[in-house]
Amino acid sequence: MELIPLNTECSQLLAPIHGFLHCATPDEWLAEARKPEHLAALLVDHANCEMKAAMSAHSLVRRYCLPKDKRKLLPNLDFYKSLDALPEKGEVLGKQALIGDNKRVFDELAKNDLLVKMVRLIQEELHHFEQVLEIMAARGIPYATLSASRYASGLLAHVRTHEPAAIVDRLIVGAYIEARSCERFARLAPFLDEELARFYVSLLRSEARHYQDYLTLAREHAGQSIDDRVVFFGEKEAELIALPDPQFRFHSGVPAAA
């Protein structure tokens, strides 16, 4: 039953993502994800993934965009809600939160591609997080504690420790997580109820841009070809997706019992 057919725009967004990922989401995972008894876990894990996406971008901004003595300017994610990186928000960048010397630091950073892209990404991920919570609340699904899947930690375990290799690897990992999320939203949407299907399709555009942004930033920071590293992480990512996984989560592998 295909409630929301993916249109031409979605197909265009997904084409590079399918080329980037080394494997498609296995049918066994899809069959599991469609089961109504997994809906609560799927939504709670999805909410967690949105928050973690914002948090890891926040950590990149603090670590790589700000001098050490200015990192305290960004203590938590609430800061981004007052910034104007999204057209629908009325404030000027930093107007509310930053004055004097701190404002000048940020004015300089407004030309920093990593900062600009990450600020927009963080705001969008926080918005997605709130959207998932709203959907859960409307359905009476509690935001219960749920352990993380092996997926992100399995990728981050391969991040090198010296610079600029560390940031390049983190950015490539970000690209894979965004790309897989996008691919899974599209695969799942036709099998969900209309509200969820529309929501998941609505996420495709921003998540596809996040994947592109991470890849662009990885290339900018590397100063040399990243092709080998992209292939390396592509293979690791595909293993996490294709190997048996005892846990069901948004980014889990093939259900172990399948």
Q: Does 58 bind Fe ion (CB under 5 A)?
A: no
Measured from the CB atom, the residue of 213 and 245 that comes closer to Fe ion is 213
Which region, judged by CB under 5 A, interacts with Fe ion, from 12-20, 153-161, 174-182, 185-193? 174-182
Measured from the CB atom, the residue of 178 and 237 that comes closer to Fe ion is 178
Measured from the CB atom, the residue of 184 and 221 that comes closer to Fe ion is 184
Which region, judged by CB under 5 A, interacts with Fe ion, from 11-19, 45-53, 105-113, 157-165? 45-53
How many Å apart are CA 182 and CA 104, to the nearest integer? 37
Burial label for 203, CB within 10 Å (0-12, 13-18, 19+), is buried
Q: Does 210 bind Fe ion (CB under 5 A)?
A: yes
Measured from the CB atom, the residue of 25 and 255 that comes closer to Fe ion is 25
Q: Does 237 bind Fe ion (CB under 5 A)?
A: no
Least Cβ distance, residue 128 to Fe ion (angstroms) = 4
Least Cβ distance, residue 46 to Fe ion (angstroms) = 9
Rounded to 5 degrees, what angle do the CA atoms 76, 80, 85 make? 160
Long-range contacts of residues 217-221, Cβ cutoff 8 Å, at least 24 apart: 217/113, 217/114, 217/117, 217/171, 218/168, 218/171, 218/172, 218/175, 220/113, 220/114, 221/114, 221/164, 221/167, 221/168, 221/171
DSSP SS3 for 33: helix
Query: Can you list the alpha helix ranges (DSSP code H) found in the chain?
Result: 8-20, 27-33, 39-64, 100-109, 113-138, 151-156, 165-188, 194-222, 227-242
Total binding residues toward Fe ion, as defined by CB under 5 A = 7
Q: Does 117 bind Fe ion (CB under 5 A)?
A: no
Q: Does 128 bind Fe ion (CB under 5 A)?
A: yes
Q: Does 183 bind Fe ion (CB under 5 A)?
A: no
Burial label for 20, CB within 10 Å (0-12, 13-18, 19+), is buried
Measured from the CB atom, the residue of 53 and 60 that comes closer to Fe ion is 53
> Out of 117, 118, 119, 125, which residue is the one contacting Fe ion (CB under 5 A)?
125
Measured from the CB atom, the residue of 128 and 249 that comes closer to Fe ion is 128
Q: Does 213 bind Fe ion (CB under 5 A)?
A: no
Say if residues 23 and 242 touch (Cβ distance below 8 Å).
Answer: yes
Q: Does 207 bind Fe ion (CB under 5 A)?
A: yes
Which residues would be at the binding site for Fe ion (CB under 5 A)?
A: 50, 53, 125, 128, 178, 207, 210
